[in-house]
């Protein structure tokens, strides 16, 4: 019989070789994921091939800061597949401010966000945090950055300075090809980390190959 074992991170479980979260809305599929019920608890299977944090788990990530009740800002929310798993982890006491620049993509996420009740969808440009600072009126616990932009590091720093509480956490999926496709990925990672270390303490980092090529997943803490 399959059993769900609590993994080393809050709200994350392992069953056989797969990662999972407890479904915040039992019976509701947020992202075409597989649902598994064990001992009357419904779990959602988290796929590392479609979600970068789960890929980082598979690659041996040792630090993952999300906890129940966390308030977080998610830059590059897209259709909300990864965000739906974050929603499970932070629970009804938490909130995700979900920033996405594409109206078409965000429209796909809105029904899921409304059903879950702890996601606030914001059609905005992450390069212009002043456009949504009147909505995020509290200091956040965690910033998650998954935007395809040459300015990804600058976007991260500016949003962290504006919204992240002292000692708050940042997770970023550095996209080397979006930042500079003419350089080798590890050279891009190195240059990004030099800039990030001016503002954050690096807690952990893992490359996401083969799940996501040319990506480095970094977990940091605000200095």
Helix or strand (DSSP H, E) at 110:
helix 103-116
φ/ψ of 28, rounded to 5, equals: -105, 125
3-state secondary structure of 105: helix
Superfamily for the 4-46 domain: Phosphorylase Kinase; domain 1 (3.30.200.20)
Residue 39, judged by CB atoms within 10 A of its CB (0-12, 13-18, 19+), counts as exposed
Q: Determine the CATH number of domain 52-222.
A: 3.40.50.150
- 2 pLDDT tier (thresholds 50, 70, 90): confident
Residue 3, pLDDT above cutoff 90 = no
- The percent of residues in the chain predicted with pLDDT above 90, rounded, is 96
pLDDT score of 1 more than 60: no
The pLDDT assigned to 111 comes to 97
Residue 131 pLDDT grade (very low, low, confident, very high; cuts 50, 70, 90): very high
- pTM over the 0.75 mark: yes
Tokens of 150: 């040459």
pLDDT at 184 over 80: yes
pLDDT tens per residue, range 52-108 = 999 999 999 999 999 999 999 999 999 999 999 999 999 999 999 999 999 999 999
Residues of the chain with CATH 3.40.50.150: 52-222
pLDDT attached to residue 31: 84
Predicted pLDDT at 118: 98
- Binned at pLDDT 50, 70 and 90, residue 135 comes out as very high
Is the predicted pLDDT of residue 32 greater than 90, yes or no? Answer: no
pLDDT value at position 36?
Answer: 96
- Tell me what pLDDT residue 200 has: 98
Structure-model confidence comparison of residues 31 and 188, the more confident one: 188
pLDDT at 204: 99
Portion of the chain with pLDDT greater than 70, in percent: 100
Please write the tens of the pLDDT for every residue from 141-159: 999 999 999 999 999 999 9
Pull the structure tokens for residue 34. 């597989």
Of 147, 135, 179, whose CA–CA distance to 82 is shortest? 147
Residues of the chain with CATH 3.30.200.20: 4-46
- 168-193 in b/e form (b: 16+ CB < 10 A) is bbbbbbbbbebbeeeeebeebbebbb
> At 166, is the pLDDT very low, low, confident or very high (cuts 50, 70, 90)?
very high
Mean of pLDDT values over 107-119: 97
């Amino acid at each position: 019989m399959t059993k769900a074992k609590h993994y080393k991170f809050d709200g994350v479980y392992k069953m056989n070789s797969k990662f999972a979260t407890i479904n915040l809305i039992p019976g509701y599929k947020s992202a075409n994921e597989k649902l598994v019920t064990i001992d009357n608890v419904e779990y959602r299977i988290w796929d590392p091939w479609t979600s970068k944090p789960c890929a980082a788990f598979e690659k041996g990530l040792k630090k993952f800061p999300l906890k129940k009740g966390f308030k977080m800002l998610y830059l590059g929310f897209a259709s909300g597949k990864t965000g739906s798993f974050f929603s499970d982890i932070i629970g009804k006491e938490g909130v995700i401010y979900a920033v996405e620049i594409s109206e078409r993509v965000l429209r796909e996420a809105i029904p899921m966000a409304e059903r879950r009740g702890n996601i606030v969808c914001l059609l905005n440009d992450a390069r212009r945090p002043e456009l949504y600072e009147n909505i995020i009126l509290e200091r956040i616990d965690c910033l998650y950055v998954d935007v395809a932009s040459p300015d990804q590091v600058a976007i991260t720093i500016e949003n962290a300075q504006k919204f992240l509480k002292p000692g708050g956490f940042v997770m970023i999926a550095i996209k080397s090809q979006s930042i500079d496709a003419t350089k080798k990925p590890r050279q891009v990672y190195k240059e990004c980390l030099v800039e990030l270390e001016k503002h954050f303490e690096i807690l952990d980092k893992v490359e996401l190959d083969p799940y996501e090529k040319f990506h480095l997943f970094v977990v940091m803490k605000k200095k």
